[in-house]
Amino acid sequence: MKVWNISFAGCGFRSIYHLGALSCLLQWVPHLVHGAAKIGGASSGCLVAAALTVGIPIDQFCAEVLTMAKEARKHTLGVFHPTFSLLRTVRSSLLQKLPEDAHLRASGRLCVSLTRMADRKNVLVSEFDSREELIQVLMCSCFFPVYCGFIPPSYRGVHYMDGALSNNMPLFEQRNTITVAPFSGESDICPIEGTFNFFEVHYGNVSIQVNTDLVRTPCLPPSLVEGVKLACCELVKKAELTGLNPTQEEHGWLDHSVTQNLPADIKRSKRDG
């Protein structure tokens, strides 16, 4: 394959999966990332794609995502709390991290998926006249109605919303595109479902396999749900207060061999965050 592309699916805060996958690729096969002709993305995936094309280190981007998620969780309603604006936070981060010539680095290589508000048609943008215009395009692709507010941002006078609503995997139609998604399915890089007992759905050019065992699981009574205590979270809070790390016995589900083998960039982000 002489020419290839990479495309990142939109997935909200699950974009941390993209960063983990990228960190591994950069560690073991860096030419696969640096040699890509085009790097595309929709929604949060376009932010990852933009970081790659303009040269923002993966560990810095990872720290930004973790900080943003932590900030959202401070509020009772999370991202829906009136005092928290996800788009404002994203824009502030972009203004701080994007280099002055970001639009020059991104033009011709970055491919951002947008959904035009007027007719719900997909638009792919790959040319940016200024740094501010690049930020506007990224903001448009990340705007999910209600979740991010009610007034959509605009690019060149036209209102757009989340690119995932019309095409969640830009460049998907090209056979030389390496697709990345945090959902188990048919993407080239994605989690592997542990059972064959699943059904498959397609959303915005992304294949998602849903475990049917989850579908058959009965809902718990509200009274029982309210009484459930997240012991693991309590242990983590206790550890943070005392300065101690929870032991593996306390977290029987945690395989420390996995965390020990994480790429250096992700370990650094986790430690610094």
Give the pLDDT confidence of 105-118 residue by residue, as tens digits.
999 999 999 999 99
Find the domain containing 101 and state its range.
Answer: 5-243
At position 61, the amino acid (one-letter code) is F
Domain assignment present for residue 141? The answer is yes
Measuring CA to CA, how many Å separate 23 from each of 5, 27, 28, 148, 266? 17, 6, 9, 28, 7
Mean pLDDT throughout 183-205? 69
Mean pLDDT throughout 249-253? 41
Domain assignment present for residue 257? The answer is no
**Residue with token string 């101690």:** 244
Mean pLDDT throughout 117-141? 96
**Res 234 pLDDT > 60:** no
Domain assignment present for residue 265? The answer is no
Instruction: Give percent of the chain with pLDDT exceeding 70.
Output: 66
**Res 34 pLDDT > 70:** yes
Domain count for the chain, please give it.
Answer: 1
Most confident region among 18-22, 212-216, 242-246 by mean pLDDT: 18-22
pLDDT at 204: 53
- Measure CA 247 to chain center: 30
pTM: 0.71
167 Cβ partners below 8 Å, 6+ apart?
42, 113, 115, 122, 124, 204, 205
Domain assignment present for residue 259? The answer is no
Mean pLDDT throughout 47-63? 91
**Res 134 pLDDT > 80:** yes
Domain assignment present for residue 269? The answer is no
Residues involved in catalysis: 43, 162
Domain assignment present for residue 154? The answer is yes
Going by pLDDT thresholds of 50, 70 and 90, the confidence category of residue 13 is confident
Domain assignment present for residue 164? The answer is yes
Instruction: Tell me how far apart the alpha carbons of residues 1 and 139 are, in angstroms, rounded to a whole number.
Output: 33
Instruction: Work out whether strand 110-116 and strand 38-42 pair parallel, antiparallel, or are unpaired.
Output: parallel
Mean pLDDT throughout 15-31? 91
**Res 215 pLDDT > 90:** no
Instruction: Tell me how far apart the alpha carbons of residues 168 and 204 are, in angstroms, rounded to a whole number.
Output: 5
Instruction: Tell me how far apart the alpha carbons of residues 232 and 198 are, in angstroms, rounded to a whole number.
Output: 29
Domain assignment present for residue 54? The answer is yes
